[in-house]
Amino acid sequence: GLAIVDMGIRGKFNEFTLKNKLDMTNAEYHFMNLFHKSFGFKNVYTFEGTVRDNDKLVIDRLVLDLGASRIEVKGRIGRFLRGEEIDLNIRSDKVLFNDLDKFLNFFEDIDSEGSINGDFSIRKKSLDEPIRLMGNVYLENASFKLPVFHEIFNKVDAGFELVNDQIFLKNGAGVFGDGAFTMSGVATISDKHKFSLNVSTQALNLSDLFGPTPKKEDEAKPTAEKEKVEENTKIKKGPNFFAGRWDIIVSSMKGAIGAIRYTDLDASIRYENRRFTISPLSFAANGGRWNWKADLYKLPATIEFNSELDIQDMDMESYFTQVAEVGKFVSGPVNLRGKVSGQGKRWSEIKKSLDGNIQLQSGKGVIHRFNLLSKIFALLNVSQYFKLKTPDLAVEGMPFESISGKFALSSGVAHTEDLIIDSEAMRISSVGDFDIGYNRIDMKIGVMPFITVDRVVSSIPVVGKILTGDNKSLLTSYFIVKGDLKNPETRSVQLESLAKGVIGIFKRLFEFPFKALESQKKKGEAPVNNK
């Protein structure tokens, strides 16, 4: 392109003064991967200074006009060709982020608007010594995106104090996601930059931090051409000043984590090399307290995670109606803890990769609606021994004393050998698999009358022998449940038809109440429900 130069030189060869004006507005140029100036963008350099001993530069006045912005520099550089003995003062009344974005490559990463002003110095005695900063810089009505966060910071006002190799953020305030925030922190400038932030916000969605939840299978995938364009754009970007380690403390009064509405959130997050380490994320939701620890590794083609979850006193009715949106399914408090890992880009992929373990323990509650139990109750027939009224889930529900179980996760399949529902009327025990990826079930379920049997045995001892049978086990009905979880095939089977290993598991699950019953009989006392 066209560059207009107006230059004046006066003095001796080893010491001379320069007055120079260089207008590069109608030129296009770039330097390495640091900056790229496009054609037609205003760019004028005005310089007054002295060169001594061929490589020592004294800057009396250097003005950079960039778009609608102006930056002024004074100072000196000893042996400027080597970048040694730097002593510069930089000031500006107003620099627009949009202008910097059009010139400096690393600003492409932060998609910024608004302005910055301030007065600070840069000093560096030798190549081996770190750069030392001193001064103050201010943001006004700025909008920008940091690479560590998914969402954009808006309407930000903040002050920065520069001290040696550190930049202190003070009194930062603005809008992030759906709520106002305040922020403070410090950045340490070195070979590997370090950033520490404390963010307090009125409302925060987790997607503002980490991006949207994994896509469903039917959502449109980016075309190969679009992916290629995005990759080429990344290659053009220069060195990222914001690369390094981020330590972030976040607190939020309310917000959303997917479909979960929370209050009182606190989180400690470390980000480095595309990896988030969360230890922990804690919040209140659905009547309980949730704590989540995780290592989350985000790549363009996939997400990998290892996590630990601990939920205390969550109200199941609130969760199933508000989060799972399946209506009034079950009520009562539950504790849930476990370790889960997985990977994938879409939720359908992640579900099929899940590994780990989960343990649950509930308090008293009511099962209001469960198609699987309704089918089992329809098949259950114990009237030939005594009167047992099975609950109508659609009317009054099935009260229970507790639900407990442990699940081992492998490739998206949850296997249990001790899922138990205890109620005053019966104990329901389950052994088998739930395929999370395909929403299918393959379970063997045993239903054993509980207190009702105890009362019959204590009242009519001879009935105890009939009910317990020759193998001295309590009367139990067994079922195989297989197929889609919404409408599985359910059929009654004999215990002997099950595999020996499954029979052994069921005997252990039903063993305790039977031993308690026998103990009470020997004492001549009425059996009690001692679970």
368 part of a folded domain: yes
Top-confidence residue, 437 or 358: 358
For residue 495, the 8-state DSSP code is G
| Amino acid 108: pLDDT | 61
Asked whether residue 62 carries a pLDDT value surpassing 60, the answer given is yes
> Tokens representing 154?
């808006």
> Tokens representing 443?
């379970």
Top-confidence residue, 351 or 54: 351
| Amino acid 508: pLDDT | 62
**477 pLDDT tier (thresholds 50, 70, 90):** confident
Percent of the chain at pLDDT above 90? Answer: 44
- CA R_g for the chain: 35
> Tokens representing 371?
């198609």
420 part of a folded domain: yes
Pairing of strands 194-205, 245-257: parallel
- Looking up tokens 């100036």 gives 37
**523 pLDDT tier (thresholds 50, 70, 90):** very low
Q: Is the distance from CB of 115 to CB of 43 less than 8 angstroms?
A: no
> Tokens representing 525?
């006392």
Residue type, 420: I
**391 pLDDT tier (thresholds 50, 70, 90):** low
Residues 76-113: tens digit of each pLDDT: 988 755 656 889 999 999 999 888 888 877 666 566 78
**298 pLDDT tier (thresholds 50, 70, 90):** confident
Least confident of 134-148, 428-442, 453-467: 453-467
Q: Which of the given ranges, 124-133, 137-146, 155-164, 463-472, has the highest pLDDT on average?
A: 155-164
Asked whether residue 223 carries a pLDDT value surpassing 70, the answer given is no
- Kindly give the interhelix angle for 461-468 and 500-523, rounded to the nearest 10 degrees: 170
Q: Which long-range contacts (CB under 8 A, 24 or more apart) does 468-472 make?
A: 468/514, 472/514
**CA–CA separation, 220 vs 245, rounded Å?**
33
| Amino acid 50: pLDDT | 93
**CA–CA separation, 520 vs 531, rounded Å?**
14
**233 pLDDT tier (thresholds 50, 70, 90):** very low
| Amino acid 528: pLDDT | 39
Residues 483-493: tens digit of each pLDDT: 998 888 988 88
Give the chain's domain count: 1
| Amino acid 59: pLDDT | 93
255 part of a folded domain: no
- Looking up tokens 């299918």 gives 440
504 part of a folded domain: yes
77 part of a folded domain: no
**CA–CA separation, 215 vs 221, rounded Å?**
9
Tell me the average pLDDT across 394-419: 89
Terminal-to-terminal C-alpha distance of the chain: 87
- Kindly give the interhelix angle for 461-468 and 451-459, rounded to the nearest 10 degrees: 130
Asked whether residue 520 carries a pLDDT value surpassing 60, the answer given is no
Domain that holds residue 467: 364-523
Asked whether residue 457 carries a pLDDT value surpassing 60, the answer given is no
Q: In whole angstroms, how far apart are CA 122 and each of 73, 106, 125, 127, 163?
A: 10, 20, 10, 14, 10
| Amino acid 220: pLDDT | 46
Strand-pair partners of 491 = 480
DSSP code string of 86-102: EEEEEEEEEEEHHHHHT
Asked whether residue 458 carries a pLDDT value surpassing 60, the answer given is no
**475 pLDDT tier (thresholds 50, 70, 90):** low
324 part of a folded domain: no
Top-confidence residue, 285 or 522: 285
For the entire predicted model, the pTM comes to: 0.76
Whether the bond between 280 and the residue before it is cis, its omega within 30 degrees of 0, is yes
Tell me the average pLDDT across 303-313: 94
435 part of a folded domain: yes
How many residues are listed for the chain in this entry? 531
Strand-pair partners of 489 = 482
118 part of a folded domain: no
Q: What is the mean pLDDT of the chain?
A: 81
**147 pLDDT tier (thresholds 50, 70, 90):** confident
| Amino acid 522: pLDDT | 44
